[in-house]
Chains A and B, each alone.
Chain A
Amino acid sequence: MHRFANPARFLRLARPASAVCFWGGLLIAAIGLYWGVFAAPADYLQGESVRMLYIHVPTAWLSMSGYAGLAIAGFSALVWRHPLADVALLALAPVGAVFSAVCLITGSIWGRPTWGTWWVWDGRLTSMLVLFFLYLGVIALARSYDEPGRGAKMASILALLGLVNLPIIKFSVEWWNTLHQPASITLSGSSIDGSMLWPLLTSALGIGLLMASAVLMRMRALIAERKVSARLARLAAA
């Protein structure tokens, strides 16, 4: 990882990588979503509303993995002071916030016809809402200091503290009685039929690549922004 902490080397890789992730992600997500929404069968119990699965579950997985990425970036920012770790943290936070918001919104829309309610305060839903607020907190904290380095440091600390929420989200449905059902995909297999599982995994891969391309593009933009302000500062000093 340290090898890529050099911004110049990172940029050389990120430029083609963001294009590959974007176009590849767009294609794979389109295939996965078409497969899930139009071609896959309806559920025996839920009927057509099960199609929310193909967007709700990928965004749930990705907002949690995004938070793990945020914590890794925060950890390397605090321990090794990599300049790129700050950038990764700032680039990831809004993208993750959007993914967790989409997960909450689609879950709510799915909950109405299946459970009979838009929202309940059970362990899973509440811990997912906390994840959304953690993302917002990281964004707010990073921006609340005049000196950007200090903001990134505080945001890194919050990102690490918030890491406890990930196992809480994961195990909420096992530790406590919740309205949300337990995990369908576990180490021992999947209780989602293959005709629904494959489109789900495809759209998760596609949406994941799109998320990666958004983060890479934001990182490149943030690095460019920093270069501009450094150059302006040099010009002003001269």
Chain B
Amino acid sequence: MKPKSQRLFLIGAAVAALIISALLAMPALREGAAYFYAPADLAAADVEPGQPLRLGGLVEEGSVMRLPDGVTTTFRVTDRLESVPVRYSGIVPDLFREGQGVIADGRLQADGTFAAETLLAKHDENYMPPEVAEAVARAEAEAKARPAN
């Protein structure tokens, strides 16, 4: 083999091996590299109360309540499988709203509620102008109103 094609083969094989091994290894880090637990992960993981962790998911529709003290908000975080009640005292981010993603840093209490110390809003991959969002919402409402058959 000419030295040039030998180098081509060796370096090509090394790069391919490197990338394939990374592609195999990285998804396996799933738990370790995750930024937050989803409610279903939390239920499966059997976490001790009081241990600091991050909880992420969607704010359940109709679950947000402002308590009369004026600073505390309670809501449920759901991943459509499980849901966890959350209590947070402080200013919620601008994008915090029902049906949107949220990540809470805090601790699970003994009574099963999650006491959040910081709250981050997550957003999804959809970008659209308000008129389009309204049209989508209207179409969804109409689809829901039609009797299912």
Contact = CB atoms under 8 A, between A and B. Distances in A.
Interface of A: 41-46, 50, 53, 71, 75, 78-80, 113-117, 120-123, 160-161, 163-164, 167-168, 171, 175-179, 181-184, 191-193, 195-196
A171 B12 CA distance: 23
Given A175-B33, A184-B127, 4 more contacts: A79-B4, A116-B93, A175-B30, A193-B128
A171 B29 CA distance: 13
B130 A116 contact: no
3 closest A-B pairs by CB: A41-B129, A44-B133, A116-B93
B122 A160 contact: no
Contacts of A179: 35-36, 56, 103, 120, 122
A168 B4 contact: no
B75 to A, nearest CB: 15
B129 A193 contact: yes
B124 interface: yes
B4 A80 contact: yes
A44 B128 contact: yes
Contacts of A71: 15
A177 B34 contact: yes
A196 B124 CA distance: 16
B127 A192 contact: yes
Contacts, number: 132
Contact of B33 (A44, A50, A123, A184): A123
Contact of B35 (A120, A161, A181): A120
B111 to A, nearest CB: 25
Given A120-B35, A168-B26, A196-B129, A78 B123 contact: no
Nearest to B33: A176
Contacts of B69: none
A160 B15 contact: yes
Interface size grouping (class) on chain B: 35 or more
B42 to A, nearest CB: 12
A177 B121 CA distance: 14
Nearest to B31: A176
B130 A184 contact: no
A68 B3 CA distance: 25
Given A78-B11, A171-B26, A181 B133 contact: no
A183 B95 CA distance: 19
Given A44-B132, A164-B22, A116 B11 contact: no
Contacts of A193: 127-129, 132
22 contacts: A41-B129, A43-B128, A46-B95, A53-B127, A75-B12, A79-B4, A79-B11, A115-B95, A122-B35, A163-B18, A167-B19, A167-B22, A175-B33, A176-B29, A176-B33, A177-B37, A177-B38, A177-B56, A179-B36, A179-B122, A181-B101, A193-B127
A85 to B, nearest CB: 13
Interface centre among A44, A53, A75 (most CB of B within 10 A): A44
Given A191-B125, A192-B127, A193-B128, A177 B35 contact: yes
B34 A181 contact: no
Contacts of B127: 43, 46, 50, 53, 184, 191-193, 196
